[in-house]
Structures are given as structure tokens and as C-alpha cells.
Structure 1
Amino acid sequence: MKHLLAYILFLVTVTTFAQDKKEEKQTLQAQSYVAEANDLAVNDAFIEAEMEYRKALSLKPTQVAGAYNLGHQYFKKGNFEEALFRHQQAVKNATSKEEKHRAYHNIGNILMEEKKCKEAVEAYKSALRNNPSDDETRYNYAVAKECAVNQKNDEPQEEDNEGDNNKDKEENKDENQKENNEKEQEDQGEDDKKEGDQDKDKDGEPKDEKENEQKEGDQKNEQKQPQPGQLSPQQIKNLLEAMNNQEQKVQEKINAQKVKGAKLQTEKDW
């Protein structure tokens, strides 16, 4: 039993030693990649340097130097998003205060470039917690604080501008509504005019009045015209005159007969 335990302990020791050797080898290899990348960066060979830094981080992701130096190269090229990511990676894996101080300091610089002054103040604070004696960090911290105050003071002005923009929008909206109403009134006037023109004839006279006059004339004509089976006033007049003439002729005839039949009155014989 003792021999078995001793054998197991031996295997564990050998395995741990082998793992340590492998990790040490990877660390050395990663450091070699970083050193090569640093030389390339000094000679402004950014693409080649970036490849070597990435090799180092692929082999040893927790290596602070690789992430920090790569982030610094991105910062110099103006790629602030990637630079911020790499320095945050360096802060996460940092094991000493100095490493954290330098990474936080650079994070503050990146945020200042992006006009994020309030966030930069917090980054410089973290850097000073790890190294309170760094004059450059203290100076940058003061500048970031002033920048944050100025940005805060500018916020109400931005709100006022927004209010002015909203006011302008409302005025434009009212003006557009007024124009639409005027256009609708003009369109309605045109429609009324068209309807009025339709109610007039070619001489400009209202059709309705002319039609009414025509109807009244027709009614009068209808009144003047005799209905079937009735005599017109002229016919009645002619008939009356004919009757009067006939009656006169009859009267004259009667009178003539009376004269003809009357006895001649002579003087009385005495």
C-alpha cells in the first residue's frame, strides 16, 4: 500500500513538473514574441508587430505586456476602441500595482480622446490609487475633471437648443397647417365657382331662373291654350257675336212681319 501511494505521489509530481515546464516554456515563447513585436513597433512595422503581439496573446492570454503594448500601438494608430479593449485586458490580468497604474492611466487617455471626460476621471482615479505619486496622472486627472464640469454645464444649453428645435418644428407645423387650410378654402371656392358656372348658361344667366321663367311661360301658354272639349276665349267671342247677329236678324224679321200684317188704320167714318 505504501508503495502504491508513493507511486501515485511520484506520478503527480512528475505531471506537475511537466505542466510547469510546459507553462514556463509557453511563457518564454510568449515573451519572445512580445520582444520581437516591440522591435517591429519601434521600426514602425505596425502590421508585423500586431501579428507578433497576437501570437504572444494566443499562446499566453494572461500576459500583461502583450495586451498593454498592443493596446498602446492601437492608440497610436487612432483605433481607440481596440486600444481600450486591450488595456482593459491588461488591467484584468495585472498582478502588480504598477501594471494596473499604467493600464488605467492609458485607459484615461483613450477616454479623453473620445471626449468621455467623466469616465476618464474615474480611470485616472484608479491609476492614482495604484500610484498616487505619478505627477502626469495627477495632471491628467485635473484636466479630465475640468472637462467633465464643462460638459455638465453644457447640458442645459443642449436642452434649450432641443427646446428651440421643437419650437421651430411646432411653428413649421402650424405654418404648414395654415397653408393647408388656405389651400382647402381655395379649392372649396373653386368647386363652388364651378358649380355656379354649371348653373349658368352660355350668356351668364342663372339656369335655374331661366328654367323657372320658361316654366312660367309654358304654364301661361298652357292656360291660354284651350283644353280638349273647351272653347277658347276668341271662339266664345266669335260665337257670341254670331249669336247677336243672328238674334238681330231674327228681331228684324219679326219686326218686318209685324209691319206687314198690321191693318191700315183709316180715318173713322162719322
Structure 2
Amino acid sequence: MKQIITFIIAFISVFSFAQEKDKAELLALKKANNYVYEGNALAEEDNFISAEMEYRKAISENPTTITGTYNLGTTYIGKGNFDEALYRLEEATKTATSKTEKHKAFHNIGNILMQNKKCKEAVEAYKNALRNNPTDDETRYNLGLAKICAEQQQDQEDQNKDENKEDKKDDNKENEDEKENQDNKDKEGDKEEDKKDEGDQEKKEGDDEKDEEGKPKDEKEGKGDEEKKKDQQKPKPQPGQLSPQQIKNLLEAMNNQEQKVQEKMNAEKQKGVKIKTDKDW
């Protein structure tokens, strides 16, 4: 009997605690809804700062409320703060319990991504929205636009990649040509250097051969010295005396004169004229 009484008391305590918990949750939900309502009113008046404060109060009272999170995200869209709006709407997709709520959140996420020119990501967002509400024509229309935009972006990316490849190929070609030209110049320089070295070596070998064969340079120098000695040994003419060369020239002149005289005498004899042989004094 005592055990039964204890069980009944425990059951009543648990039931009372559950009721108190339910009451607290209902009160928090009620407060959150009130804050959302006030936030909506302020947002309609374009008072986004005050509306944001009310939505944050709603989330603080009931973190799982989808309405507060979703409305806060749409408020950021109105303010142009797309990054914060995207963050809040993504939170809404995680906490949403109905397909309708998820559809709206994904739809607005797609709109934000399109605003940011992220067409590929927008396609996926619109697809998720249609999975939760396949009959929404607006979402379907936006999905078509997002696909066209994504294809254009992909084509542009491919074109840029091709251009980059061509530019890189041209740069590599230019670098290869420059390297080849430099290599050719280096080779020509090496050839010229080798030729020069070969010429110097041949010249050196020739000089060595001449030195071994009798040192002709020294012999030539020796001959020159001998000729200089001979010239020094020749008797130099004294002042008032004729040099041997002068005497030789004089004798040749006398012989020539004598020959002329003889030729003249012979010519006179042939004419019969007597020629004097003695000179007049």
C-alpha cells in the first residue's frame, strides 16, 4: 500500500513538471510570436533596425521558431545585407518542420545567390525549393533563368581557361625560342673561342718547331750582325780622297769617253781627214 502511494506521488510530480514545462514553452512561443508580429509591422514601415531587434528577441525566446529566423533573413534582404540574409535563411531551412517553410527559405536563398551572380549555387537552391513544393511556377521560372546564367558563366570560364592556355603556350614558346637563340649564341661563342684557341695553339706549335729547327729568328739576327760588322770593316774614305765607288764611276766615265773618241777617229779616217792625236795646250 505504501509503495502504491509513493508511485502516485511521483506520477503527480512528473505530470505537474510536464505541465509547467509545457506552460513555459507555450509562454515562450507566445512571446516569440508577439515579437515576430511587432517585427513584421516595423519591417512594413521600413524600420529595419527596430524590426531586426524584435526578430532577435523572438529567436531568443524560442530558438526553434522558423518564423523569426525566416523573417529576420528577409529583413536583411530588404536592407541589402545579403550575406547575413543568406546565413539566417540557411538556419531556417535547418529548423523548419514543414515543407512550406523549407520551400520559402530555399526560394529566397536562390534569389540571394542570383543577386550575387552565383548562378550554379542558385540552381541547387531552386531545385531544393521545388522538391518541397513542385507546383510553384515562380520557383520553376527562376530555376530556368538560373540554369541559363550558369551555362553562360561556364562558357565564359571555359573560354578564359582556353585563353590562359594559349597565353601560357605562347609564353612557353617565346621562352623556348629565347633559350634556343641563347644556346645558339653560346655555341657560336664556344666555336669562336675554340677556333681562337686552336689558332693560338698552332701558332705556338709553329714557333716551337722553328725554335727546334735552328731558331731562324736568331740566325737572321746573327746575319744582320755579320753584315753590320762587314760594313764597319770596309775602309771609310778620308776627307779629300775618293771612295772606291767614286773611283769606279770615274773609270767607267773615262772608258766611255775614250770609246767615243775612238769611234769619232774611225769615222774621220773613213772620210780621209787627218785627225790630231795630241791635245792643244
Q: Shared fold by TM > 0.5?
A: yes
* Whole-angstrom distance in 1 between the partners of 2:151 and 2:118: 12
Following TM superposition, by how much is the alpha carbon of 1:167 offset from its aligned partner in structure 2, in angstroms? 4.7
Please give the secondary structure, in 2, of the residue aligned with 1:140: helix
Quick one: structure 1 residues 134 and 10, their matched pair in 2 at CA, closer, same or farther if it must change by over 3 Å? Answer: same
Residue 11, structure 1, aligned to residue 13, structure 2: yes
| CA–CA distance in structure 2, aligned partners of residues 114 and 123 of structure 1 | 13
Shift of 1:164: 4.0
Amino-acid identity (%): 50
Taking a change above 3 Å as real, the CA distance of residues 165 and 81 of structure 1, as seen in their structure-2 partners, is: farther
Instruction: Report the alpha carbon displacement of residue 154 of structure 1 after superposing the two structures with TM.
Output: 2.1
Q: Aligned partners of 1:97, 1:80: CA distance in 2, in Å?
A: 23
The one-character-per-residue Cα deviations of 1:158-214 (angstroms, maximum 9, x if unpaired) are 102222443565578689989x99xxxxxxxxxxxxxxxxxxxxxxxxxxxxxxxxx
Please state whether the residue corresponding to 2:128 is helix, strand or coil: helix
TM-aligned CA deviation for residue 9 of structure 1: 0.2
Question: Which whole-Å CA distance do the structure 1 matches of 2:83 and 2:103 have between them?
Answer: 20
User: How much does 1:64 deviate?
Assistant: 0.5
**Which deviates further from its counterpart, 97-106 or 145-154?**
145-154
The residue that corresponds to 1:56 in the other structure is 58
Match of 1:47 among 43, 46, 49: 49
Partner SS for 1:133: coil
2:40 paired residue among 30, 38, 41 = 38
In structure 2, relative to structure 1, the CA distance for the partners of 1:111 and 1:4 (3 Å cut) is same
**Aligned match of 1:103:** 105
* Aligned counterpart for 1:93 among listed residues 78, 82, 95: 95
Q: Given residue 55 of structure 1, which amino acid in structure 2 is its aligned partner?
A: K
Instruction: Return the TM-score normalized by structure 1.
Output: 0.63
Question: Aligned pairs, how many?
Answer: 217
> 1:126-153: per-residue Cα shift (whole Å, max 9, x none)?
1112111111111001111111222222
Counterpart of 1:15, as a letter, is F
Q: Paired residue for 1:226?
A: none
Counterparts of 1:60 and 1:135, CA distance in 2: 33
Shift of 1:88: 1.0
Alpha-carbon distance in structure 1 between the residues aligned to 2:155 and 2:144: 17
Q: How does 1:128-167 map to 2 (within 5 A)?
A: 128-167=130-169
Partner SS for 1:61: coil
**Distance (whole Å) between structure 2 residues aligned to residue 175 and residue 87 of structure 1:** 57
**Whole-angstrom distance in 1 between the partners of 2:82 and 2:35:** 23
Distance 1:169 1:31 in 2: 65
Q: Deviations over 1:29-74 (max 9, x none)?
A: 1111111111111111111111111111122111111111111111
CA–CA distance in 1 between the matches of 2:69 and 2:18?
28
Q: Which runs of 5+ in 1 are unaligned?
A: 182-236, 238-270
C-alpha distance in 2, partners of 1:52/1:130? 29
For residues 97 and 88 of structure 2, what CA distance do their matches in structure 1 show? 16
**Aligned partners of 1:169, 1:26: CA distance in 2, in Å?**
67
Q: What amino acid is aligned across from residue 90 of structure 1 in structure 2?
A: A
| Aligned-partner SS, 2:161 | helix
Shift of 1:76: 2.1
State the shift of 1:4 in Å: 0.3
TM-score, length basis structure 2: 0.60
Runs of 4+ in 1 over 4 A off after TM superposition: 167-178
User: Who is 2:125 aligned against?
Assistant: 123
| CA RMSD, 1 decimal | 3.9
Deviation at 1:15, TM superposition (A): 0.3
**Aligned with 2:72 (options 57, 70, 73):** 70
Query: In the alignment, which residue of structure 1 is the partner of 2:28?
Result: 26
